[in-house]
Amino acid sequence: MKQLRSRNVEMETRKRARGQSLVEFALVLPLLILILLGVFDLGRAFNAYIVITNAAREGAYYGSLNPLDSNGIIARVMNETQNSGIAVTADDITVSCSGVKGSPMLITVSHDFSLITSFLIGTQVIQLQGRAEMMVL
């Protein structure tokens, strides 16, 4: 009889522990989801920053060899971002150079990055900017 009572108490304790674990999980789950979304957004933003910075470098490289071809520089930058999922227009690209040999060629690429977690921060977009500078050869 004593052994039967001990088993019943043990089973009730296990049921309570399972219920407690379920309640704790339900309390922590929203926080874990928000952290996961934040990490996902951070990774996307970092990828977009890398893409526009590489596009600016590509445009600066082309511009250092052809400083007077601003349309070619813009085309080179847009071609670099074409298959990356980052939409860059000609208005997002700034080219500044005097065209003189030995002068700096500065390319700036801007991109409005849309956040998934905008409901947390209150902003819908973050403006990312990639810059590259090379000397005209």
Per-residue pLDDT of the chain (137 residues; tens, 9 = 90+): 555 566 666 666 676 667 788 889 999 999 999 999 999 999 999 999 999 999 999 999 999 999 999 999 999 999 999 999 899 999 999 999 888 898 999 999 999 999 988 877 777 889 999 999 999 98
Query: Which phi and psi (to 5°) does residue 63 adopt?
Result: -65, -30
Alpha-carbon torsion angle 110, 116, 120, 125, nearest 10? 20
Domain with 57, as residue range(s), is 2-135
Report pTM: 0.80
Neighbouring C-beta atoms of residue 58, cutoff 10 Å: 19
Tell me the helices (H) and strands (E) count for the chain, helix number first.
3, 3
What one-character DSSP code corresponds to residue 127? E
Helix (H) or strand (E) holding 112: strand 104-114
Distance between CA atoms of residues 92 and 90, nearest Å = 5
Number of domains in the chain: 1
